[in-house]
Amino acid sequence: MEVVKQTFHILLIGAGVTLQITVISVAIGCVLGLAVGLARLSGIRMLRLAATAYVDFFRGTPLLVQIFIVYYGLPYLFKEIQAYLMANFDMPQILTTYALPVFLAAVIACSLNSAAYIAEIFRAGVQSIEKGQMEAARSLGMTSSQAMRFVILPQAVKRVIPPLGNEFIAMLKDTSLLSVIGFEELTRKGQLIVGQTYVAFPVWLTVAFLYLAMTFCFSRLVDYAERRLKTGD
Amino acid sequence: MIRVENLHKSFGKLKVLNGIDCRVAPREVVVVIGPSGSGKSTFLRCINLLEKPTLGQIYIDGVSLLDPSTDINAIRAEVGMVFQRFNLFPHKTALENVSLAPMQVRNLSRQEAGDLAGSLLKKVGLIDKAGVYPDQLSGGQQQRVAIARALAMKPKVMLFDEPTSALDPEMVGEVLAVMKDLAREGMTMVVVTHEMGFAREVGDRVIFMDEGLMVEEGTPEKIFQEPENNRLKAFLSKIL
């Protein structure tokens, strides 16, 4: 217990980083996910196919592998591209270092992953709105994008709050995978402490408790938001 | 005003409309009756392209709806539609339901659209409900707001798709009253309904549809008192 007392503030900082990376990733994921979700419903075939491929890839491969691709794969790709451009097009060397900052890699991997799940949430939300709503809007002469913006999306947003909350909680826990690239969020902080002190059980239990505290608070927040939105319907 | 030629519509293998020809003159009130599944609603929904015809032509004010160069949104803005299930926007107040399209489609200012919406809600007797959300309105009130919403675009034609079928009986009258007022003011109307009283009183012409065809048409007197077609006779004997 002594170890936990002495290192608790380090774990708290880790929890703060976990929360930060989750909020940023889910926020970017929402913007990107809305675009991908609407593209999945688009009348343009190419757009639909591209969005479907995106969702399939990021939902069909492990987040851990995606993190590796971004953190180790992208720098390699940059290097190859630059070498190719320099060799074939006489381009001057722009990049001298290829490594991505670990924070940036974490944001990219988690946002792209989150966007795929959120795209499906928005798509389902939009499709759950009665067909008559779109028909009524179109019959008044609105374009499909006006109908989407003023009629469908405002209703869909209310319905996607609970699944979005679930996605946030899932992402909060999945950011623990970022520990493998040395991103110092909560799990990585735990690893470092255990590595130095050899006190495993109390430290990992505390880490678990901190995750639980965050997810618990957030679920209550979602419940509250859901109730508020229902009354305003 | 409306000219329909050889209109066909199929959903996959199911043929719903099998060659409809029809004209509606300005200020005319045409009532379409017929058994369920006869294609009445599909016919009406084709007139503003909520359903895309398989074959045939539709003209509104001489403009072909199926010509690819036609701006279908502009046409729809001129053709008001009232649905069986109202389809009000649940996240908007009665007033906002009416003012949304004038603002977005006609580019009216919030003030102008609000004034317009207010005057239309007054016309349908619901000005005191302007700030209320649809789920706090009765079915009859919702349908009157829906009529006001369609009128806000100042349409040349109003289409009614069984506007009273989803209402409790005691609310049918208030909606029909609003529709009668509209007819009296000279609105061109196509009404699909089971309200034979309305057809008789307000209709200039009644069309009987069955199995995707217009089987018989004429003045209300002729259709109700001297029906010729056997299926029309059978239909009338069931509902009157």
pLDDT tens digits, one per residue of B139-182: 999 999 999 999 999 999 999 999 999 999 999 999 999 999 99
Q: In Å, how far from its chain's centre is CA B238?
A: 24
Give the pLDDT confidence score for residue B204 in this predicted structure.
Answer: 95
Interface contact B150, partner A, CB < 8 A = yes
A chain contacts of residue B145, beta-carbon cutoff 8 Å: none
Query: Residue A14 and residue A207: Cα distance in Å, rounded?
Result: 9
> If DSSP codes are grouped into helix, strand and coil, which group holds residue B235?
helix
Give the pLDDT confidence score for residue A93 in this predicted structure.
Answer: 81
Residues 163-192 of B with CB under 8 A from A: none
* Cβ neighbours of A81 (radius 10 Å): 12
Phi, psi of B55 (to 5 degrees): -155, 155
**Closest by CA position to B147, among listed B205, B219, B98, B199:** B98
Q: Evaluate if residue A91 carries a pLDDT over 90.
A: no
Give the pLDDT confidence score for residue A96 in this predicted structure.
Answer: 78
Residue in B50, B78, B90 nearest the CB of A135: B50
Give the pLDDT confidence score for residue B18 in this predicted structure.
Answer: 94
Q: Compute the half-sphere exposure of residue B134: CA atoms within 13 Å on the CB side of its CA.
A: 19
Give the pLDDT confidence score for residue A231 in this predicted structure.
Answer: 55
* Long-range pairs, B73-76, Cβ under 8 A, ≥24: B73/A138, B73/A141, B73/A142, B73/A143, B73/B105, B74/A141, B75/B48, B75/B49, B76/A138, B76/A139, B76/A140, B76/A141, B76/B48, B76/B49
Q: Which residue has the higher pLDDT, A43 or A207?
A: A207
Query: Residue B60 and residue A157: Cα distance in Å, rounded?
Result: 37
B26 and B1 in contact (C-beta within 8 Å)? yes
Phi, psi of A11 (to 5 degrees): -65, -35
Confidence band for B196, pLDDT divided at 50, 70 and 90:
very high
- pLDDT tens-digit readout, A194-230: 999 999 999 999 999 999 999 999 999 988 888 887 7
Interface contact B74, partner A, CB < 8 A = yes
B64 and B4 in contact (C-beta within 8 Å)? no
- Which residues on adjacent β-strands are paired with residue B79? B157
- pLDDT tens-digit readout, B13-30: 999 999 999 999 999 999
* Cβ neighbours of A196 (radius 10 Å): 10
Query: Residue B146 and residue A130: Cα distance in Å, rounded?
Result: 16
Residue in B73, B88, B149 nearest the CB of A143: B73
Residue A227 in tokens? 């109730």
**What residue in B sits closest to A139 (Cα-Cα)?**
B76
Q: Evaluate if residue A40 carries a pLDDT over 90.
A: yes
pTM of the model as a whole: 0.87
State which of A146-150, A226-230, B34-38 shows the largest mean pLDDT: A146-150
